[in-house]
Every structure is written in C-alpha cells, then in structure tokens.
Structure 1
C-alpha cells in the first residue's frame, strides 16, 4: 500500500476535505469591497442562478438541434450472438449421443430515410428557432434583473443619503437640547420647553435608527439579487452626480423602439413560426415515407458434421439492400387531429404575441407617466425643501435669542424634516424612473 502510516493518510484526507472550503473562502475574498452599478450587472450576468439555468436550457435546445440534423444521416447497427447448444443426436449405428456445440450469428445493418414529406427539414428549422427562443429568454431575464438591480442600488443610495441628513438633524437636536438646558438653568425657558426639545431629539434618533435599518435592508435586497454569500459585507460607490432630469423621448417613439428590439416581442414572433412548423410537420403524416436499408451478415453452426468455422462464415455470408415504402391509408384520425391541434396552437401563438405587445405597450406608457409624475414631484420637492429649510433656519435663530417659543420651532423643524425626506425620495424616484424609461428604448442603464 502507498499509505503505510495512518498519519499520512489522515493528512491527505484532511487536505481533500479542507481544499473546497479554502477555495470557497478565496472566491469570497476575490469579491470587491465596493461595487459600482456596472460591476453589479457584470457579476449577476455570470453568477445569477436563473440566468445560468436558462443558459443550460439553451444548451439543451442546441443538443436537440444537433439531434434533428443527425436524423438525416444513415444509422449503423452491429449485432453478434454466440450460443452454446447441447442435445442428443442419432449416430450411424442407430444409437444416440449427447453433443455440445456452438453457433453464432453476426450482422451489420443500416437504414436511412430518403423521403418523409419534408418532416426532417421542418424539424431542423423548428429546433433552430427554439434555440433562438432560448437565447431570447436569457436576454429577457437579463433585462428584468437589470431593472431590479438598478432599483435596489438606488434604494441603497437613497437610504445612505437619508442617513447623512438625519445624522445632521440629530446633531442639531443635540445642540439645541444642550442650549435649552442652559436656558432652563437660567430661567429663560420653562421645563415643558426643555422636555419638548428632548422629546424631539428622541424622535430624531428614532428616525436615524429607522434610516440605518432601511439601509441594511436595501443592501440585503441587492445581496440577494446578486446571490452573494450571507457573511460578505460590501458597500456601493456613489456617483459624482445623479441626473434626475433629462430629455424625455416621445411615448410613441419609445414604444416603437421596444416593439422592434425587445426580446419578449421577438420571442413571441418566433413562437408563431414554431407553431407554423408544427403544422407543416403534422401535415407530413398524410404523405408516404421512403427509406433505404441494407445489411451484411453471416452465421456459424458447429453442430453435426459442420464444416470449419471460417469456411461456414464464408459460405453463409450474405448481403442485403432494399427500399421500404410506407403509405398511410387509414390512421384513425391521428394525423387529422395533429393538424387541427397545430392550427389551434398557431392561433394561440398569435394571441400570445398580441398580449405581449399590449402588456409591453401599457408598461411603457405607465413608465412614461411615472417619469412625468416623478419629475413634477421632484421639482415640487425642491421648492418645498427650499422654503421649509429657510423657515427652519429662521425658527432656529429665533429660538436662540428667545424670540420664538419651542412649539413654533418644533413645527418648523418637523416641516423641514418632512420636506427633506420628500426631496430625497423624489430625487431617487425621478432618477430611477427616467432610467427605466430609457431602458425600454434600448439605452443601457448608467448612473
């Protein structure tokens, strides 16, 4: 034996078991600490399980295509049998004896279809279309993942920016509570005013905790979309600028572009062609089938006074070639049923295409409306933030000099916080909707 010492054997077994774990850790280490949006797309394209599953399905359809092409070639089968026989035989003296002998049969046969009503050609064309459909399914899934990743990525940016602003609000509240405590100590404000400032600080801290929790939740969504290891922590890179307003293309222009280029439309159009080929294949059932066949064979029998083995093989060697014509006369409605069902499938495929076009058209129109609404909301949010921020600044200055009571100040502050959060939400909502709308036009998603 190679392993003469148990310690060496245990070492190799441990190495065999630990190696995969080390490789898994290495793959985790290789992941970047910060991700750009494009890196998210690239990683998902290579590692997403749904995409890889669809790639395997396409590979399966490619094998079906190769099989349908090979159906036009002749087959070749060889067979050989060797038998041990035993039995009583009558000898010259009238007695019997038990004799054991061998026999064998050896043959090679081939068959090729010469004419089947065009079935094989139709089948090849159909399998080729199905391969294209499988590729379009991958493209459609990739489009869906792109939108989901973009939405998750922007949600993380939204939550991160919200945290920054809320932290600033908390810091301001802490300073105001400290100032309020000083004013209370010298009798400038009542106890109720100090309590209200402390309550506002607690509320601001709660908003910060909520924002941080939302940030973690949004990161988890992106991690699940990318199917990253659960123990892996990462950050995303923030773009220098985030465009929220851009040229809005006409709805009809975007719809026309999507109808001409989107994979779901092309897939549904190919579905009609696939159904037409099903009809053509079904109609070949009415036509005759002509095939050619041939064979070579020989046999050997060692019983009785048989001649030598090789001599018998030579004497029994035969060759065969022929044609077989099969004409369907009465198929008990099998062919007619297949033809009628194929016609129904064509109508169903046309309805599927119409439904796909309708859904896509409505989805793009909804996206167009979302962009208009999001841009209007963003413009309004900018204006609202501008005035509420100024009102909050004035109230803060008045509170410092005792010119405003705490209730009025807190009202202005809450209005500012609400306007701030509305602004952040509107900014990222506008950025997301304009990119989704442009994506239907065929423009890659970029920040």
Structure 2
C-alpha cells in the first residue's frame, strides 16, 4: 500500500549513519516513537539550533542600548621638528611619548530605532519558537504516517501467510489427484504456479514491511542495525468515524497551527522594519566621554608624576541631523512598506495551504470511510465465496483455475479492507491533529 504522503508538507530527513543514537528498547508504541523522534530527530535539532541563534541575536540587539568602553595605549618616537603630543610644544629634538586613555559613548536617541530593533528582535525570537513547534508537528505527523504504514504492511504479511498456507494445501491436493489420474497436468501446474506466486507476494510483503521499519528508524535517528517491534493498534479502535465539519476543522487549524501564527508575526516584524526605516529621518544624539593621560621624554618629571599631571577628562554630546543621504532612507521606507504587503500575501498563502491540507484530508477521510464500508462487505462475501469454492474443489466439482480466481478475489478484498482501514485511521488522526487534539491509537 502507498499511503498518500502529500496530505501534509512533510520534511525530508537525512539517512542515518552508523554513529546515530540507539537504545536497548525493542518494543515501541506509537507514543514511544513520537517522543523519541521529538528528542532526537535531526530536523527538530536543527530548528532548535536556529532558535538558539535567534536568542543570541536578540541579546546582541538589546546590548546596543548599552554604552561601549574602549581602552587605548600608544608609544611613539619622533625625531626632528615636531609638536610634542603631550605638551603641544614645538620642539626640534628626539621625543619619546606615551599615551594612555579610555573612551566611551552611548546613543541617547536614534529616531527610536534601537527600541524598535529590540522589539523586532523579540518578535523574531517568538517566531523561531513557532518554527520549532512547526518542526515538531511535522515530525509527529511523519512518525504517525510511517508507523501506520508499517502496521499495514505487518498485517499484509499475515494475509499473505494465510493465503500461502491455503495454496500449499491446495497444491498437495492437486498432486494427489494428479497421481490418482482425476485431474489433468494443467490443473496441477496451475496450483503450483499459484503457490509460487503467493510465496512471491509474501516475500514482497515482508520486504515492504522491512522498508517501512527502516524509514521509521530514520525518523527516530536510531541505529540501522537496531531491532524494533511495533505495538499493534487497539483491535477495538473505531474505524467507522462520524463525518466531521470541514470548515470547523479549518477554523481550528488556523487557531492551532504554529505556521499560521508565524505568518502573522512576520507581518508585525515587517511593520517594525518600517518603524526602524522611518527613524532614519530623525536626528541621532550621542553622549561621549574619555579619560586620558600621557608621558613625554622632553619633560624631566618622572613617568608616574607626568601621568598624574597630564590626566584629563572629557565629556560631550554629539548631534547628527539627517539632511540628505541620497534618498537612502526613503528607499528603505519604501522597501519596508513593500515587505509588509509581501508578508500579508505570505500569510494568505499559508492560510490557503492549511485549507488545502484540511480539504484533502477531509475528502480522503470520507473517501476512505466509504471504501472501508464497501470493502468490509466485499471481504465478507469473498471469504464466504472462497470457503464454498474450497468445498467444491475438495469434492472435485471445481477446477484449480476457478479456485485460484476465487482465492485471488478474496486476497484482493482483504488488502482493500486493510488499505481503507489504515487510511481511515491516518486521515482521522490528521483531522484530530489539525484541531489541536492529541493523537491516540
């Protein structure tokens, strides 16, 4: 069976290396798989690292409001006619001078740009938290889909094993009848061919199951060599589900899915960009201060005394008025306004994608439900038909070819029922997830 992976935009995951984490645990429930994947999946870890980077950037932006502090020291040697850097006297001799100092500055006002940058940084930090939640959601849905695919393939193995067992018995009967001369060679070879074909189908079913297990282990970031066993779903789970209100699911999805909130925050972040850009029209006021001292070789006072005598302090205000900066600020404001419109369009796109997911999931759920009801009837009828065909075959009233037709029909109805069953479970859990409900199997 091919479960439709396009029901959600799922993130692709990297192939495991032999050094991936492993655990001694062998029996895994769906919840075990989800919990482990949320802790160890590479995509989730990467999203968390992006969140950590956003936090670092936020702290860096906040620190822009603090004053800076620099220390300086220089040693100079000059010869000939020059001005002493300490005394400012004009001298004509060799001078050795030392300068020591500290300086600081702080921006008092910059068109309110610093405050807006801090607010924007906090919004970006919150947005990254939503991106982390989106990654967690995607991994959860991927695990649910992979887990159900594996369980489907596991049940398909049981179906093929039962069919193969029946085929082998029928082949034995055909051989006995051939030896007794009651059937032609073609009837016996038909039975042989059917047994071989069913054995092939069983091998294929086992291979499909193993592939699903590999995919699941990749999602969990488990060592490829680790053996895991899946817990079957509750046999009493309700698979015939009441019809859900599509628009109600959609409205709840808009309220619960983090990508929608992230899209809304993106608009607010763009609006802060506009406020920051407009701050470029306003003046900038800065406070500066410095401490300094120095030593010169032309003064015969000792080094320590000169540092004491030459010690100086300065404080000042600096005002910068933007008059004309080649329309740079105007262009930044215009770009910010355009980005706001783009962010609004992106939000609309996200909402449309959410609706498409809900619509596809809802349609697929209803289709799977109808298929399930039809498949259940077909399976019951085909099972009875196959049972009667086996009795007629035992009595010699039915050819091997006709028995094979009945057997294949029964096998197909079993597979159709399993497919509809697991599709119903998958799409229903998807609808529940969109509404903010917990996934339970």
Mark yes or no: TM-score above 0.5: yes
Query: Contact 2:19/2:223 (CA < 8 Å) preserved in 1?
Result: no
Query: Contact 1:75/1:111 (CA < 8 Å) preserved in 2?
Result: yes
Structure 2 CA distance, aligned partners of 1:31 and 1:333? 65
Q: What is aligned with 1:35?
A: 28
Partner SS state of residue 347, structure 1: helix
Partner SS state of residue 113, structure 1: strand
Displacement after TM superposition at 1:85 (Å) = 5.6
Residue of structure 2 aligned with 1:336, choices 314, 330, 343: 330
Aligned residues between the structures: 415
Further displaced range: 330-339 or 222-231: 222-231
**TM-score, normalisation: structure 1:** 0.89
Structure 1 CA distance, aligned partners of 2:147 and 2:75? 71
Shift of the 217–77 alpha-carbon distance from structure 1 to 2, 3 Å rule, reads: same
Pair 1:263 & 2:261 matched: no
User: Per-residue displacement from partner, 1:309-344 (whole Å, max 9, x unpaired)?
Assistant: 122112211110110000001111000000000000
Q: What is aligned with 1:381?
A: 375
Residue of structure 2 aligned with 1:229, choices 208, 223, 231: 223
Structure 1 CA distance, aligned partners of 2:67 and 2:259? 38
Q: What is aligned with 1:4?
A: none
Pair 1:246 & 2:241 matched: yes
Partner SS state of residue 71, structure 1: helix
Displacement after TM superposition at 1:237 (Å) = 1.5
Shift of the 384–176 alpha-carbon distance from structure 1 to 2, 3 Å rule, reads: same
Residue of structure 2 aligned with 1:393, choices 387, 399, 403: 387
User: Per-residue displacement from partner, 1:83-137 (whole Å, max 9, x unpaired)?
Assistant: 4566799xxxxxxxx9877421111111111111111110011000001111111
Partner SS state of residue 130, structure 1: helix
1:142-291 correspondence runs (5 A): 142-241=136-235, 242-291=237-286
Residue of structure 1 aligned with 2:108, choices 104, 114, 123: 114
Shift of the 396–232 alpha-carbon distance from structure 1 to 2, 3 Å rule, reads: same
Displacement after TM superposition at 1:70 (Å) = 1.2
User: Per-residue displacement from partner, 1:122-163 (whole Å, max 9, x unpaired)?
Assistant: 001100000111111111111111111111101111111110
Structure 2 CA distance, aligned partners of 1:283 and 1:29? 54
Further displaced range: 188-197 or 211-220: 188-197
Structure 2 CA distance, aligned partners of 1:350 and 1:413? 58
Displacement after TM superposition at 1:305 (Å) = 4.4
Q: What is aligned with 2:87?
A: none
Structure 2 CA distance, aligned partners of 1:105 and 1:248? 83
User: Per-residue displacement from partner, 1:366-401 (whole Å, max 9, x unpaired)?
Assistant: 111111000110111110000000000000011111
Structure 1 CA distance, aligned partners of 2:20 and 2:138? 26
Q: What is aligned with 2:425?
A: 431
Residue of structure 1 aligned with 2:75, choices 82, 91, 94: 82
- The answer for unaligned runs of 5 or more in structure 1 is 1-23, 90-97
Displacement after TM superposition at 1:226 (Å) = 1.9
Query: Contact 2:241/2:369 (CA < 8 Å) preserved in 1?
Result: no
Partner SS state of residue 442, structure 1: coil
Pair 1:56 & 2:49 matched: yes
Displacement after TM superposition at 1:217 (Å) = 1.2
Q: What is aligned with 2:296?
A: 301
CA RMSD of aligned residues (A): 2.0
Structure 2 CA distance, aligned partners of 1:88 and 1:250? 93
Partner SS state of residue 291, structure 1: strand
Pair 1:346 & 2:340 matched: yes
Structure 2 CA distance, aligned partners of 1:188 and 1:222? 52
Query: Contact 1:81/1:106 (CA < 8 Å) preserved in 2?
Result: yes
Structure 1 CA distance, aligned partners of 2:22 and 2:55? 36
Structure 2 CA distance, aligned partners of 1:270 and 1:148? 26
Q: What is aligned with 2:130?
A: 136
Structure 2 CA distance, aligned partners of 1:354 and 1:246? 31
Structure 1 CA distance, aligned partners of 2:128 and 2:433? 22
Q: What is aligned with 1:15?
A: none
Structure 2 CA distance, aligned partners of 1:53 and 1:27? 15
Structure 2 CA distance, aligned partners of 1:387 and 1:178? 26
Query: Contact 2:54/2:128 (CA < 8 Å) preserved in 1?
Result: yes
Residue of structure 2 aligned with 1:324, choices 307, 318, 321: 318
- The answer for unaligned runs of 5 or more in structure 2 is 1-16, 83-91
Shift of the 29–287 alpha-carbon distance from structure 1 to 2, 3 Å rule, reads: closer
Query: Contact 1:245/1:431 (CA < 8 Å) preserved in 2?
Result: no
Structure 1 CA distance, aligned partners of 2:61 and 2:294? 35
Residue of structure 2 aligned with 1:66, choices 59, 63, 87: 59
Displacement after TM superposition at 1:31 (Å) = 3.7
